[in-house]
Amino acid sequence: MRHRVLGGTGIEVSPYCLGTMMFGSVGNADHDDCVRIIHAALDEGINFVDTADMYSAGESETIVGKALKDRRDDVVLATKVHFPMGDGPNRGGNSRRWIIREVEESLRRLGTDWIDLYQVHRPDHTTDLEETLSVLTDLVRQGKIRAFGCSTFPADEIVEAYHVADRRGLQRFRTEQPPYSLLARGVETHVLPVTQRLGMGVLTWSPLGSGFLTGRYRKGRPLDLSSGRPTLHPARFDPSAPRTAAKLEAVEQLVAVAEEVGCTLPELAIAFPLAHPAVTSVIIGPRTMDQLRSTLKGMSVTLDDAALDRIDEIVPPGTDIYPPDGVWTPRSLTTPSLRRRTPADRPAAAPR
C-alpha cells in the first residue's frame, strides 16, 4: 500500500484509515471481534487508525488500546476531543481546562504514552481559538501528542485558526477531517481548496453516504428500516422525503457508473474521495469482518477522467444532495438573536 505524507508532518499514512466509530456499544459490542478486525486491517497494510473519546462513551478508545497493545509503534493513531463526556458543565468543548483533562483520559483508555494526531472534533464558539491552539501547542511540546488537527470545520474557521497561530507563534492545525462522498461534495467549494493552500492533510469521513452508497437502499425497492442506521435516524431514510428520493435517484445512476468501471458501488464510493488531490486518506468504518474484507477488495480501484466526468454529470462538483449527517451548524443559523435586530434597534414604524 503506497503511503502519503500527512499534512507536512513527515508522518506517512495509508490511503485508507480505519475508523472505529462502530466499535463498542453503538455498533459491535464484541471487543474480541473488534480487535480481530483491527488486526486484519493492519495485516492488509493499513497503518492509520482513527477514533474519538465520545465513540461509545470511550469504549471505542479502550478497544483500540487493546488491539494496539503489541503493535503501537507500527500505527499512526488519531483520536478526537470536543463532545460532552458525561453530565454537567465543563465536560466538553475546546477549552484548556477540558482538553488537558480529556487528553489524559484518552491516553489512559488507549494504553499509550502519546497520540500521533489529536483532533478538535467540532468548533466551539465559547472558546477563543487562541486558547485551543495554545493548549494543543503545549501538549505537543510535552510529547503527549505529535500533531493536531480539526474536524468538520468550515473554511473560514480553518483560515482564522491559521492566522491566529501565525500571529501568536503557536503551532497550527495540520489536518482537517470533513465529510466527503459521491452524494456530499460541498467541501470541494471552499474547504478542500483552503486545505490545499495551507498544506494541510485531509482525512475524509462518511464515504458511503450514511449507508446510501452501500447498495442496500435502491429506488423502487422496499427500504429495510429495521436495522442499522435507519433505526438511529429513521427520518433520514423516509422514502417519501424529497431528499431521500434525490439520493436514491443518484444512486441508480452511480450504480451504472460502477458497472462501467467494473467495480461495486461501495468500491466506487471509496475510490472517489481518493481521486481528489487534496485528500490524504479516506476513513472506512466497518462494523464486521465481512464489511472490512468487502471494502478492502476495492483497494485497487482507480477512477479515470471518463468515470469522474460521468460522476460530475450526476452530482455536480461542490453539490450536496443532502446535508451530511453530523455536520456542525454555525450559531448564526441556530441562534435567532444573532440574526434578528432587537426591538430597540428596529426602525420605528412609519406613521399612517
Instruction: Provide the annotated active-site residues.
Output: 55
C-alpha cell belonging to residue 295: 471494502
Angle subtended by helix axes 242-261 and 305-314, to nearest 10: 160
Long-range contacts of 108-111 (CB under 8 A, 24+ apart): 109/53, 109/58, 109/61, 109/62, 109/65, 110/51, 110/61, 110/62, 110/64, 110/65, 110/68, 110/77, 110/79, 111/65, 111/66, 111/68, 111/69
How far apart (Å, rounded) are the C-alpha atoms in residues 101 and 192?
Answer: 32
From residue 3, how far is each of 6, 14, 47, 180, 183 by CA, in Å?
Answer: 9, 5, 9, 20, 26
Closest of 220, 240, 238, 219 to residue 229, by C-alpha: 238
What's 28's DSSP letter? B
Dihedrals phi, psi of 284, to nearest 5 degrees: -105, 140
Residue that has been written with the C-alpha cell 469522474 in this structure: 308
> What is the chain's Cα-based Rg?
21
From residue 106, how far is each of 36, 58, 95 by CA, in Å?
Answer: 21, 8, 16
Dihedrals phi, psi of 46, to nearest 5 degrees: -70, 125
Residue that has been written with the C-alpha cell 459490542 in this structure: 29
- 3-state SS assignment for residue 174: coil
How far apart (Å, rounded) are the C-alpha atoms in residues 17 and 323?
Answer: 23
C-alpha cell belonging to residue 83: 463532545
How far apart (Å, rounded) are the C-alpha atoms in residues 63 and 86?
Answer: 19
